[in-house]
Amino acid sequence: MKAMVHQGPGSFVWQEHPTPQIRKPTDAIVKIEATTICGTDLHILKGDVPTVEPGRVLGHEGVGAVTEVGAAVTEIAVGDRVIVSCISACGKCSYCADGMFSHCLADEGASGLGWLLGHLIDGTQAEYVRVPFAETSLHRVPQGVAAEDAVMISDILPTGHEIGIRYGAVKPGDVVAVIGAGPVGLAAMMTASLYGPSRVIAVDIDANRVEQAERFGVSDGVISSDPEWKEQILALTDGLGVDVAIEAVGVPSTWDMCLEIVRPGGHVANVGVHGKPVSFPLESAWIQNLTITTGLVNTNTSRMLIKLLAQGRLDAGAFISHRFSLDDIESAYTTFSSAAETKALKVILAARR
Ligand code: ZN
Ligand code: ZN
């Protein structure tokens, strides 16, 4: 088969790669129908994620048809159309028992992380993928839901919802600011509406992204390169600051911004993938009664999100900016990695029929 293979920092090639086989009784093999590229994949290509070894097939999002299952798999059958979750969860270890699949202990790389695909084992940017713990790591695609829409359930919708909105404890009437209007930030904005906030403020350095955010249930937009950005946000609250600030970029300046705009008693939910240390001014924050959360997605709300998708309550198609054929994935990476010029959000890679 063909797959997107990481060759080491800065290099990736769509090339021949061994077709995956069932290795454990709990595995399934999925023929990829649609996949996409995540910001995390760009971090891997830059060399920010050294646990990804050269030779690894990238990708942790995708939808496809099951072509083979291991002997222990009874709930998923050959022919099922499934969403591949970015987290592979055994369903049995102590973390899985608590619903914290992100730290599943049964992984194949002994890292104590549920993020295996496109990280510690070969991923979804390929014609076929082997999915471990198939019964607890695959979800059936409901009737009537397009494959490309369902791909948004693999990672971005649960990540924005769980680590942004749920960890941020958004409640009715809250003013929520999301710093960073990339796909995951937009997923947080879209799922915020499930909890009845009074305002959802999109903050981004890129005016185009702030404008795009209007399609994701946002009430107000603020361009962070404006010297008055902070005053603009405070003016949208009662002057005290936002109830929930969600960091969805992963650089020190946007973390600092969250701490500047959150009100006493508020929540700062970090979603961004950070590659550098940030400062935390505990000398001023200690008296602010803040709640600060971090996390890797558990995908324990994916089933709920799938129901909303099936009922047309979540417009997953809004995330899709570009479509390519799977074997044109190298062009898709070029488009996705220059999002400021191409206005790329999620790029869909569809297998040729
Ligand atoms: Zn991702
Ligand atoms: Zn587990």
The CA 296 to ligand 2 mean position distance, Å, reads 14
Structure tokens belonging to residue 221? 């937009």
The CA 288 to ligand 1 mean position distance, Å, reads 32
Cα four-point dihedral sign 93, 98, 101, 104: negative
The CA 235 to ligand 1 mean position distance, Å, reads 34
pLDDT in tens, the chain (353 residues): 999 999 988 899 999 999 999 999 999 999 999 999 999 999 899 888 889 999 999 999 999 999 999 999 999 999 999 999 999 999 999 999 999 999 999 866 566 789 999 999 999 999 999 999 999 999 999 999 999 999 999 999 999 999 999 999 999 999 999 999 999 999 999 999 999 999 999 999 999 999 999 999 999 999 999 999 999 999 999 999 999 999 999 999 999 999 999 999 999 999 998 888 999 999 999 999 999 999 999 999 999 999 999 999 999 999 999 999 999 999 999 999 999 899 999 999 999 87
The CA 60 to ligand 1 mean position distance, Å, reads 6
User: DSSP code of 299?
Assistant: -
**pTM score, two decimals?**
0.96
Count the Cβ atoms, other than its own, within 10 Å of residue 343: 15
The pLDDT of residue 214 = 93
The CA 297 to ligand 1 mean position distance, Å, reads 9
- Residue 103: phi, psi to the nearest 5? -115, 25
The CA 99 to ligand 2 mean position distance, Å, reads 9
Ligand nearest to C-alpha 187: 1
